[in-house]
Amino acid sequence: MKDDFTIFAGRANVALATSVAVEMGARLGACSVERFPDGELSVRLDEPVRGRKVFIIQPTSPPVNDHLIELLAFVDACRRASAAHITAVMPYFGYARADKRHGRREPITASMVADLTQAVGVNHVVTIDLHAPQIEGFFHIPVDSLTAAPVMVEALRPGLSAETVVISPDAGRVRMATEYARLLGAPVAVLHKERASGVETRVTRLVGDVRDRPCLIIDDMISTGGTIVESVEALLEAGARPEISVAATHGILLAGAREKLTRHETREILVTDTVAPPAHDWPHLRVVSIAPLIASALRRFLADGPLSGYIVS
Ligand code: R5P
């Protein structure tokens, strides 16, 4: 691999960026980020990037707007410093749930984020388990949404009973749950969820059989924890064995999520480190690193290699 690339870490998940750099046998590019008293950000690259391929690793996790602006500022700095090619590695893509209008006079914020990243000069976006695959269509540049499924399944497999049913907590996650079920050789059941607001959801129906079976709920993210709690309750009500595990790619885990989730009989919650994980004193939470997956995909980009096996087709 030619040494003509530089990896910069935004502040959203320096640990992940460091692990990716280590996996690639590289070091992080020198830079400094400062916040002025009025809240404005100042980003400076402390080494040249002229003619280099640049990877900026920054999940746009909470505080979403700050992390997004920081990413855009990094990109702008790289473009003005004559980087040859800029890849925004956004392991978690904030605003992905705002991918359509639910009524008139509403924005499609995911599309706006796509416009902003392209306007500042991003040439390529890499993300993981994008909430809705059609978001790719908001971009006119290549977007690669890698799947964490193989990494998650390898971490889950040893602890799962052969009778486990994989659960999609809503219609949007059926494709993802089906992929997990395929890799695990398990059946799938689907819950039908209605969202009343950003914090309120209601499970109205279950399609599939979970009676006396352990369940594995799959989701792309856990934010407030509401979806998981509702799903666990619906599964127990439908006669599932009180042996429920959860696997979600993005553990956003906002304040209050832990309290909500520990009230229930979940055996284990598995997330990746796309979003910086919370403090390590949560016995039911297990974090599996996505750094080897990102590093290996970036190596393929550098070698112009194919991405089969990294994305769900
Ligand atoms: C919804 O469409 C998503 O896939 C997640 O199920 C949801 O956003 C998780 O959020 P929360 O934890 O707040 O229910």
Ligand 1 mean position to 38 CA, how many Å?
33
Q: Residue of the nearest CA to atom 4 in ligand 1? A: 220
Atom of ligand 1 nearest to the CA of 226: 14
> Mean pLDDT across the chain, nearest whole number?
94
Asked if 10 and 70 count as a contact pair (C-beta separation under 8 A), the reply is yes
**CB of 150 shorter than 6 A to ligand 1:** no
Mean pLDDT of 237-250: 96
pTM here is 0.94
- Residue 85 confidence (pLDDT) above 90: yes
CA gap 18, 9 in Å, rounded: 8
CA gap 285, 208 in Å, rounded: 27
Q: Give me the catalytic one of 53, 100, 193, 260.
A: 193
Ligand 1 mean position to 221 CA, how many Å?
6
- Residue 287 confidence (pLDDT) above 70: yes
CA gap 127, 61 in Å, rounded: 12
Residue whose C-alpha is closest to residue 77's, from 114, 39, 30: 30
Please give the pLDDT value at position 43.
97
Residue 128, classed as helix, strand or coil, is strand
Mean pLDDT of 103-116: 96
CA gap 187, 181 in Å, rounded: 6
Tens-place pLDDT, residues 196-211: 776 677 888 899 999 9
- Residue 195 confidence (pLDDT) above 90: no
Q: Residue of the nearest CA to atom 10 in ligand 1? A: 223
Task: Tell me the pLDDT band of 7, cut-offs 50, 70 and 90.
Answer: very high
Asked if 179 and 151 count as a contact pair (C-beta separation under 8 A), the reply is no
Residue 180's contacts (CB-CB under 8 Å, 6 or more residues apart) are: 149, 152, 153, 166, 186, 216, 218, 247
Residue 53 designated active-site: no
**CB of 253 shorter than 6 A to ligand 1:** no
Please give the pLDDT value at position 282.
87
Asked if 190 and 177 count as a contact pair (C-beta separation under 8 A), the reply is yes
Ligand 1 mean position to 236 CA, how many Å?
20
Please give the pLDDT value at position 313.
57
Please give the pLDDT value at position 312.
67
**CB of 227 shorter than 6 A to ligand 1:** yes
CA gap 151, 239 in Å, rounded: 30
- Examine residue 63 and say whether the peptide bond preceding it is cis (omega within 30 degrees of 0): yes
Mean pLDDT of 273-301: 93
Tell me the percentage of the chain whose pLDDT exceeds 90. Answer: 85
- Residue 268 confidence (pLDDT) above 80: yes
> Could you tell me which residue, 311 or 12, shows the higher pLDDT?
12
Please give the pLDDT value at position 263.
76
Of 118-132, 165-179, 270-284, 288-302, give the lowest mean pLDDT range. Answer: 270-284
Atom of ligand 1 nearest to the CA of 199: 13
- Residue 234 confidence (pLDDT) above 80: yes
Residue 85's contacts (CB-CB under 8 Å, 6 or more residues apart) are: 53, 54, 123, 124
CA gap 178, 224 in Å, rounded: 24
- Residue 139 confidence (pLDDT) above 60: yes
Ligand 1 mean position to 222 CA, how many Å?
6
Please give the pLDDT value at position 199.
67
- The H or E element spanning position 51 is none
**CB of 144 shorter than 6 A to ligand 1:** no
- Residue 126 confidence (pLDDT) above 90: yes
Please give the pLDDT value at position 200.
74
Please give the pLDDT value at position 304.
86
**CB of 99 shorter than 6 A to ligand 1:** no
Please give the pLDDT value at position 120.
98
Ligand 1 mean position to 299 CA, how many Å?
32
